[in-house]
Amino acid sequence: MIAMDIISDGLFAAVAAMGFGAISDPPLRAFPYIALLAAVGHATRYCLMTFLGVDIATASLAAAFVIGTGSVWCGKRVFCPMTTLYIPALLPMVPGTYAYKTVFSMIMFFQDINSPTQGSQYLQSMIFNGAVSFSVLFMLAVGATLPVFLLREKANSMTRGSKFL
């Protein structure tokens, strides 16, 4: 059952990444690797959060780092720069529900601006959700960019000798 959960989590993340990737017009050869990276990354975050109780920001950082490192290996195989693989793969980890709750709380805060108890509750919820969404987004970007610095030589010659020119 646990294995099923992890696999389905990865599977849906893969579909999401391929779809969001398609918006940015990637080369067709990149799709399988985008899917693979997204599945592995999202499943990593799922496992860290569900089984080890890691918080969402740290888990996102770890997962993004996995995706970034994986994209070095994948990029070399399909001659794509790392960013073209890891940006779509990161997108399924965007903290959508938190972002939504931030907006929703903001609106409710303005509706209840004259009621001190409810208004401040919504304000608190807005700051709470906003902080989570911002940190997760930031961690995703940083985590995936780290491998670029660690493996600079490799990262910069990803498309060398491309067979697809």
Among 41, 33, 34, CA closest to 17: 34
Please identify which residue in 58, 128, 145, 151 interacts with another protein, judged by CB under 8 A.
145
Angle between helices 31-51 and 56-78 (to 10 degrees): 160
38 to 97, contacts with another protein by CB under 8 A? Answer: 42, 79-81, 83-84, 87-88, 90-92, 94, 96-97
Based on the shown chain and the rule CB under 8 A, indicate whether residue 151 belongs to the binding site for another protein. Answer: no
Is 78 within 8 Å of 33 (Cβ atoms)? yes
Amino acid letter, 121: Q
CB 160 → another protein: shortest distance, Å?
A: 4
Among 81, 84, 87, 2, CA closest to 41: 87
Question: What is the H or E stretch that residue 49 is in?
Answer: helix 31-51
CB 79 → another protein: shortest distance, Å?
A: 6
Binding-residue total with another protein (CB under 8 A): 59
The CA-CA-CA angle for residues 130, 136, 141, to 5°, reads 130
Based on the shown chain and the rule CB under 8 A, indicate whether residue 4 belongs to the binding site for another protein. Answer: no
For CA atoms 97, 98, 104, 105, the dihedral sign is positive
> Which 8-state DSSP code applies to residue 159?
T
Based on the shown chain and the rule CB under 8 A, indicate whether residue 16 belongs to the binding site for another protein. Answer: yes
Please identify which residue in 32, 54, 58, 99 interacts with another protein, judged by CB under 8 A.
99
Based on the shown chain and the rule CB under 8 A, indicate whether residue 17 belongs to the binding site for another protein. Answer: yes
Q: Which residues sit at the interface with another protein, rule CB under 8 A?
A: 9, 12-13, 15-27, 30, 42, 79-81, 83-84, 87-88, 90-92, 94, 96-97, 99-104, 106-108, 111, 137-138, 140-142, 144-145, 148-149, 156-162, 164-165
